Every structure is written in C-alpha cells, then in structure tokens.
Amino acid sequence: MPNVARGARNGPEPRAAAAETDTPALILGSASPRRLELLAQIGIVPDMILPAEIDETPRRGESPRDYVRRMAREKAAALAGSAHGAILCADTAVVAGRRILGKPLDDAEARRFLQLLSGRRHRVLTSVALAHEGRLRERLVETVIRFRPLTAAQIDAYLATGEWQGKAGAYAIQGHASAFAIWMQGSYSGVVGLPLAETASLLDAIGIQGKAT
C-alpha cells in the first residue's frame, strides 16, 4: 500500500498511523517548501518536517561535489538522534567554475552572483541522503544550465522581486528566473531542490512509495 501520509507536521514524534504500517515514518530534514511540494508531486507527504541545523561553511579546498555530499550526510546525521524513521535530507549548490554560490546575504551579493552567471554555463549539484536503520543511501545529481546574457536592468528587475532571497546562486529556476535559462541538461527538479526520479528510487528501496512511482 502506498505510504501517502495525510499531512506533515513539525515535532520529534512520528504519527501513530505511520507506525501501524510496514513502511517507516518519513522525516523530511528540510524547511524548504519547494522540497515539500516536489515530494507531493510523486504522491509523498512526510510524516514529519524536522529541519536540520548544521554549519554549512565549505571546507578549505573542498570540491563542490564533496561539499554537497557532506552537507546532505551531515543533515541526516544531525537528526538521527532525535527522530525515528527514515530521514530524508538534501543539499543544493550552484557552482560557477569551482566557486560555490550559496544563499546571498544581501541584494549586493545576489547582484554579483547573477552577474557571474550571466551569459555562461554553470552547474547545479543536488545531493540526496536517506538514513534508515543505520544505513545511508545517497544520490548526487548534476545539472548544467546556461543563462542568456543579462542586462543591468534585467538584474535590477529580478532583484526587486525578492525571489533571490534564500536561494542558492540567487535565483529560483521555477520562478521569474526561468526566463534566464536558455539551455539545460540534467534534472529540472534537482535544480528546484530535489531530483524526483532519484529520490523516488531511494524511497522505494525502503518501501515508501507514492502514487506516481
């Protein structure tokens, strides 16, 4: 029977209904509404939403791929002692060359990020980690995107929307910034924050299935 919960909530205890099935309770270790919406697209609603609080500072000399893998793993590890069930965590990074573009601190930094991405290719890396019964399952998905050249006026208009706030690389591909991308190779849902095919495969391996899988 598909494990499609009736609703997600914050808190340390899984719903009793989840415990009555053969499938584990699913804890989403993220406060991102985008990841919650993506899971809903494949018929999955977490039993709990329990954001992980970790230090997201890249280490000296750490590659972007190693960085996103470590972030997803550390988020899952941070919740392992306070949540019972399957813990699903993810991390997304926008990468220009070898430079990791995180969430901009202010509009000035957001402007610099968009200027850097203008007219060139960049990568979006999303790592997914699923911790369950002492085992960690992982997937790393890379998507390449090319932005069209952006004028100062276009960047100003985008910044005025406020959409850049809290977004890696200072943009949301599912929003106004969709007009910037002229070419993409990889996973669109991975750019939004959770690669659905890979995530569904991980969940299916532990018996959690949505109506679309």
Active site (catalytic) residues:
91
Q: Specify whether the CB–CB gap between 101 and 67 falls below 8 A.
A: no
**Which distant-in-sequence residues (6+ apart) come within 8 Å of 36 by Cβ?**
8, 28, 30, 46, 49
Return the closest-CA partner of residue 211 out of 192, 16, 200. Answer: 200
Residue with structure tokens 């959409």?
163
Distance CA 174, CA 167 (A): 11
- How many alpha carbons fall within 13 Å on the CB side of residue 149? 1
Return the closest-CA partner of residue 88 out of 122, 42, 123, 124. Answer: 42
User: From the CB of residue 134, how many other CB atoms can be counted at a distance below 10 Å?
Assistant: 6
- Interior CA angle at 103 toward 7 and 197, to 5°? 50
